[in-house]
Chains A and B, each alone.
Chain A
Amino acid sequence: MLLFKLECKRLFSGKINKLVLVLFLISGVFAIYQGAQGYKNIRIDQYKSKVVFQKEREHVTSRESLPEAGSLAYYASAPTKWQLSPWAALFVGESQSSMVATKIRATALQSQIFNREIVNPSQQRTGGLDLGFVLVFLLPLVIGIMTVTLISDEQHAGRWRLLNALPKSAFSQLCKQIALRFMVIWLLVVSLLLSAALLLSLPFDGVFWLVLTATSLYMLFWFSVAGLIMSFDKSSVVNSLAYLSSWVLFAMLIPGAVHLYLSNQFQTEAPLEISLQQRLVLNDGWDKDKQATLDEFLTHEPRWRDTAPLGEAFDWKWYYAQQHMSDLAVQQQWQEYIANNQRRHAQLQTLSALSPALYFQLKLNQLANTSSRDQADYQQDIVNYHNEMRHFFYDYLFFNKAISKEDVDNFILFEPKTSTMKSSASQNMWVLFISMLCVFAIALAAMVRLKQLRPA
C-alpha cells in the first residue's frame, strides 16, 4: 500500500504528466460539449424538416379545392432522415458534413440526390474534434508520454539495478507501474464516457459496453506498443522518438496513404456524367414525341399501362413519365456508381486493418451509424422512398383519380431502415473477439520481452 501511494505520488509529481492528463480531460470535455451541440443541430434540422412539411401539408388541405395531383407532386418536397445513433454526437463521421435531412420530391431523382450540405470548408479541412478523435488520436499520446520512458527513467535514477536485485523482480514492479497508469487513464476515459452518456442520455446498452471494451482494448494496444519499445532497452529519448514515430505512422501516414490509394483506385466521374446526361435526356424530351415517351415509360411501369392516350394540351402524366425516363437513361451508370462505392467501402474495411487507429476510428463511426457505408444506406433509403412516392402519385396522374384531402393526409412518409444497425451486432462481437486476440498477442509478446530484460 505504501508502495502504491509512493507510485501515485511519482505519477502525479511530474509537471508534464499532469499537463498531459489535464489536456486530455479538457479536450474530452470540449469534444463532448461540441458533439452534443452538433448532434442537437442535426436533430433540429431533421425535426424542422418534418414540421415544415407538416405545415405545408396543412396549408394545402386547408384550401377550398386541392390543386391537381401533378402540381401537388411538383411542390411536395418530403423530408427524409438519416437515422443516426445518439452516439453520433461523439463519433460524428460523415454526419456533420453531409445532408441528414434531404428533401425529396417525385421529379427526377438524379437531379436531387447529389445535393450537398453547406459547410465551412476551412472547418472541415481542420479535421474536427469529436470524442472519437480524442480517443483514437489523443489517447495514445497520453499513454506514450506517461509510459514509454518508465524503464529508462528508473535506469537514469539508478533504481533499475536496485530493483532487479530485490526478491520481487523488477518486472513485477514495472507491471504494477504500468497497471497503475492504465487504471488512471482508464478511469479518465470511463468518466468521459459516463458523463457523455449522462449528458446525451445514451442508453447503457450493448453499444456502450462495446465502446468501452473496444477503447480498453485500444488502450491495451498502445500500452503494448510502449512495452515493446521499452523492451529494446534504449534511452528515454530514443524510446520517445520511436513511440512518436509509430503514432505518426498509424494515425497520419497510413490513413493518408489509404485515402490516396482509395481515391486513385475508385476514382470516378460518374456523378458528373450522370448529371450531365440526365439533364440532356430530360430536356430533349420536350422536343420529342410525347406519346412515344409515355408508351416507353409504360413498358417500364406496366401497372399504369391502361392510362388514356395523351391529348393536345400539356399533361402532367407525360411530365412525370419523362422525368422518370431521364432517371432510367442513367440507371446503369448509377448502379455502377453504387457498386463502385460498395467496393470502396469493402476495400476500406480491409485496408483499415493496417492501422489500429484507423480501424478503431472506422468501427466507432460505424457504431454511431455515421460512416460512409451508413451514408450509402441512407442514400438507398432515399432512393426507395422516392420510388414509393412516385408510385403514390401515379394512380392520380395516370388514372385521373381525383386526389382528396384524406389522400394528402395519408401521403406516405419516409421510414428510416434500422435493420443495418441490428444485424451487425453479432458481427461486432466477432470483430471484437478477433481484435482482442490480436491485441493480446502483441501484449503477450511485449510482456515476454520485458520479462527477459536485465540491467546491463
Chain B
Amino acid sequence: MINKKVMKIFRHELASKRKSPSLWLLFIMIQLLLAVALYTGWQQFQQSVQTQSTAQALVEQQWQAQPDRHPHRVAHFGHFAFRPPSALSFFDLGVNAWVGDSIFLEAHKQNSANFANDQDGGTLLRFSELSSANILLTIWPLLIIGLGFASISGEQKSGTLRQLMSMGVSFRELVTGKSLSYLLLSVVFILPVFILSLVLASSAGATFSSEGVVRLLLLFSVYLLYCLFWIGLTLLISSYVKEPKQSLVLLTSIWFILTILMPRMLAEFAHTQNPHQKRNDFELAVKLDNRKVGNSHNPDDPYFSKFRAETLKKYGVDTVEELPINYKGLVMQEGEKLNAQIHNKHYEKQLEKFSAQQQFIRQFYWLNPYLFVRDFSMALTRTDTKHFLDFEQQAEAHRYARIQKLNQLHTNEIDHHNDRDQKVHKSYWQEFKPFSYQAPDLTWSLSVFSWLWLLPLLVVIAMFITLNTKGMQRRIYATV
C-alpha cells in the first residue's frame, strides 16, 4: 500500500507545511500552551499531594494524641479522609475542580466531600481548565483542520490535482501520503507532552508504578486515534467539498458541534432525563427514613424495644443492667448499622442516576469520538466521576468501620451504670488504622469501557476505508 509515490506525496506535503510561517507560529504557540498547561498541572498536583498528605498525617496524629475519652465522644470527634490526587492528574484534571478533596467522618452522619476548587467556575471554567488533555481534546483538532482542510479541495481548485492524476498518482496514494504526513506531524507535536508527562510522573516516585507506564501508553494511543479521527474527517470533507473556504467553514462547524455543543446538550439532557437528588432532598429523604425505622434515644421506640427484648433473651437476663456488656453501646452499634443501611440505600439511588446519565452519554461515543476520548482519558488518569465516587465509598466504609469499632469499645469497656462519666484509656486510639485511599487498578478503571472503545476505532477505520473506496475515487476523478 505504501509505495514510492505515496512517500513522495508524503515528503512533498511535509515540505510544503514546513514553509508556512503561520503554521509554524501556531505550532509554537500550541507547544507553549501545552508546556504551560503541563507545568501548572504539575505544580497543582504537587501542591495537592503535599496538602492532602500533610493533612492526613495531621489528623492521624490528632486522633492518636487524644486523651482518655468516652468512645462516643471520640465518635463525634471523628476523623477525616483525604483524597490524594491521582498520579496522572497533572495531565488530565478531569472532574477534579468540581469535587471535594476531603470528607469529615463522624458518627450518625455521612458527610460529603468538601473544599472543591470550583471558585468562579460558572464564569471561568466554561471550557474546563487549560489542562494538557483539554488542549489536545479541543484546540488540537483545530490545528489538524488548519493543516488539512485544503489538502484535496485546494489541489482541486488550483489544478494541481489534475497534474498529479496525469502523472499517474492515484487518489488513494494521494490520500495515504497526505494522511501519513499529518499523522507524523501530529505525533511530532503531541509526543513531547507525553514524554514530559512520563518524566514528571516517574519523578513522582512511589505513586507511579509500571501500571502508570501502561496508562500513559494507552493515553498516547487513544489521543493518536483521536488525531486519526480528525485527519480522516478533514480529508473526507476536503474531498467532498470543492471550495477550500467551504470545507474550512464546514469543518469548524463540525468541530464546534462535536467538541462544544453536543457534549453540553447531551450532559444537560442526561441530567433532565435522570435527575439526581439535590443535597436538601437527599438529606431529607435519609432523615425521614431514619425517623421511620426508629429513634435509639427514645426508650419506648418500637424497633428498639424489640431489639432490647431480643438482646435480653439472648443473654438470658431480665434487665439491661444485668447484661454482661453495655447495652447503650449495643444500641449505638445497632443505630449506626440502620443509619448506614438507610444512607446506602439512598446513596445507591444517586449512583444509579449518575450512571444512567453517563450511560446515556456513552451511547454517542461512536458518533462523537470526542466524548469517548475525553472519558477514556479521564478514566486512564483516574480523574473521572467514577473514581471520585470510589473515594467517597472507600471513605464511607472506613467511617463505618471506625465508628463501629468505637461502639464496640463502648459496649465492652464502658459500664452501663453512669455511662457518660467514664472514659477508656488513650492507648486504644493507637489501635485504629489510618485512612489511606487505595487507587483502583487499570482493569477497574477501564471496566465500563469493555468493548465501547471498539466503536470509535471502527468509525475511524470506516472513514479511511471510505476515503479509499472506488466510489470516492470516481467522484474525485469526475470533478478534476
Name, among B67, B113, B116, B120, the residue most crowded by chain A CB atoms within 10 Å (CB to CB). Answer: B120
A-B contacts, 24 of them at CB < 8 A, read A97-B121, A116-B100, A116-B114, A118-B282, A118-B350, A120-B271, A120-B354, A123-B271, A123-B357, A125-B94, A125-B95, A125-B128, A126-B267, A149-B245, A240-B248, A240-B249, A240-B252, A252-B139, A269-B51, A272-B101, A276-B58, A276-B80, A283-B76, A372-B120
* B99–A121 CB distance below 8 A: yes
- Over the window 250-290 of chain A, the binary record of Cβ atoms lying under 8 Å from chain B Cβ atoms (1 yes, 0 no) is 01110111111011100101011001100110010011000
* A16–B150 CB distance below 8 A: no
* Distance in Å: Cβ of B307 to nearest Cβ of chain A: 24
A124 partner, pick from B119, B121, B265, beta carbons under 8 A: B121
* A145–B249 CB distance below 8 A: yes
| Complex interface: chain A residues within 8 A of B384 (CB) | 122
* B113–A93 CB distance below 8 A: no
* B279–A19 CB distance below 8 A: no
* B142–A97 CB distance below 8 A: no
* A93–B123 CB distance below 8 A: yes
- Over the window 40-74 of chain B, the binary record of Cβ atoms lying under 8 Å from chain A Cβ atoms (1 yes, 0 no) is 10011001000100010011001000010100010
Give the complex CA separation of A122 and B385 in angstroms: 6
Give the segment of A182-190, A302-310, A327-335, A358-366 that binds chain B: A358-366
* B357–A122 CB distance below 8 A: yes
* Distance in Å: Cβ of B238 to nearest Cβ of chain A: 12
* A271–B95 CB distance below 8 A: no
A206 within 8 A of B: no
| Complex interface: chain B residues within 8 A of A269 (CB) | 51
| Complex interface: chain B residues within 8 A of A372 (CB) | 119-120, 122-123
- Over the window 81-124 of chain B, the binary record of Cβ atoms lying under 8 Å from chain A Cβ atoms (1 yes, 0 no) is 00000000000001101111110100000001111111111111
B77 within 8 A of A: yes
Give the segment of B159-167, B255-263, B325-333, B466-474 that binds chain A: B255-263
Give the complex CA separation of A204 and B260 in angstroms: 32
| Complex interface: chain A residues within 8 A of B361 (CB) | 122
| Complex interface: chain A residues within 8 A of B419 (CB) | none
B308 within 8 A of A: no
Residue of A nearest to B271 (CB): A123
Known: A94-B122, A237-B248, A371-B122. 17 other contacts (CB 8 A): A16-B249, A30-B265, A30-B268, A95-B122, A118-B277, A124-B95, A128-B122, A133-B264, A145-B249, A237-B149, A244-B142, A257-B130, A269-B51, A276-B55, A276-B58, A276-B62, A279-B78
B311 within 8 A of A: no
* Contact status of A41 and B279, CB under 8 A, knowing A16-B246, A97-B122: no
Interface size on B, residues (CB 8 A): 92
* A121–B121 CB distance below 8 A: no
* B102–A128 CB distance below 8 A: no
Residues of B within 8 A of A (CB): 22, 26, 33, 36, 40, 43-44, 47, 51, 55, 58-59, 62, 67, 69, 73, 76-78, 80, 94-95, 97-102, 104, 112-130, 138-139, 142, 146, 149-150, 244-246, 248-250, 252-253, 256-257, 260-261, 263-265, 267-268, 270-272, 275-282, 284, 350, 354, 357-358, 361, 384-385, 388, 420
| Complex interface: chain A residues within 8 A of B260 (CB) | 137
> Which range contains the number of A residues in contact with the other chain?
35 or more
Give the segment of A44-52, A384-392, A395-403, A406-414 that binds chain B: A44-52
A164 within 8 A of B: no
* B59–A276 CB distance below 8 A: yes
Give the complex CA separation of A236 and B67 in angstroms: 77
* Distance in Å: Cβ of B329 to nearest Cβ of chain A: 19
Give the complex CA separation of A20 and B420 in angstroms: 72
* Distance in Å: Cβ of B311 to nearest Cβ of chain A: 27
Interface class of chain B by DSSP: helix
| Complex interface: chain B residues within 8 A of A116 (CB) | 100, 112-114, 116, 279
B253 partner, pick from A19, A95, A125, beta carbons under 8 A: A19
* A49–B280 CB distance below 8 A: yes
* A287–B55 CB distance below 8 A: no
* A16–B55 CB distance below 8 A: no
A167 within 8 A of B: no
* A236–B280 CB distance below 8 A: no
A348 partner, pick from B67, B123, B271, B278, beta carbons under 8 A: B123
* B124–A119 CB distance below 8 A: no
Give the complex CA separation of A270 and B26 in angstroms: 40
B104 partner, pick from A45, A48, A275, A371, beta carbons under 8 A: A275
* B385–A45 CB distance below 8 A: no
* Distance in Å: Cβ of B362 to nearest Cβ of chain A: 11
4 tightest A-B contacts by CB? A121-B95, A256-B130, A93-B122, A129-B264
Give the complex CA separation of A266 and B260 in angstroms: 29
A322 within 8 A of B: no
| Complex interface: chain A residues within 8 A of B73 (CB) | 283, 286
Give the complex CA separation of A352 and B123 in angstroms: 10
* A52–B249 CB distance below 8 A: no
Give the complex CA separation of A80 and B354 in angstroms: 27
| Complex interface: chain B residues within 8 A of A263 (CB) | 44, 117, 119
* Distance in Å: Cβ of A312 to nearest Cβ of chain B: 11
* Distance in Å: Cβ of B387 to nearest Cβ of chain A: 10
* A120–B150 CB distance below 8 A: no
A141 within 8 A of B: yes
A115 within 8 A of B: yes
Residue of A nearest to B68 (CB): A287
* A259–B130 CB distance below 8 A: yes
* A126–B121 CB distance below 8 A: no
| Complex interface: chain A residues within 8 A of B22 (CB) | 241
Residue of B nearest to A149 (CB): B245
| Complex interface: chain A residues within 8 A of B256 (CB) | 141
* B281–A48 CB distance below 8 A: yes
Residue of A nearest to B44 (CB): A263
Residue of B nearest to A145 (CB): B249
Residue of A nearest to B40 (CB): A260
* Distance in Å: Cβ of B461 to nearest Cβ of chain A: 27
| Complex interface: chain B residues within 8 A of A245 (CB) | 26
| Complex interface: chain B residues within 8 A of A23 (CB) | 253, 257, 261
* Contact status of A365 and B142, CB under 8 A, knowing A256-B129, A276-B55, A283-B76: no
* Contact status of A260 and B130, CB under 8 A, knowing A27-B261, A272-B115: yes
Residue of A nearest to B112 (CB): A116
* A118–B276 CB distance below 8 A: yes
* Distance in Å: Cβ of A270 to nearest Cβ of chain B: 9
| Complex interface: chain A residues within 8 A of B271 (CB) | 120, 123
Residue of A nearest to B284 (CB): A52
Residue of A nearest to B122 (CB): A93
Residue of B nearest to A357 (CB): B126
* Contact status of A267 and B47, CB under 8 A, knowing A117-B278, A124-B95, A279-B78: yes
| Complex interface: chain B residues within 8 A of A325 (CB) | none
| Complex interface: chain B residues within 8 A of A264 (CB) | 40, 43
Name, among A118, A269, A286, the residue most crowded by chain B CB atoms within 10 Å (CB to CB). Answer: A118
| Complex interface: chain B residues within 8 A of A133 (CB) | 126, 264
* B142–A248 CB distance below 8 A: yes
* Distance in Å: Cβ of A348 to nearest Cβ of chain B: 6
B264 partner, pick from A45, A127, A241, beta carbons under 8 A: A127
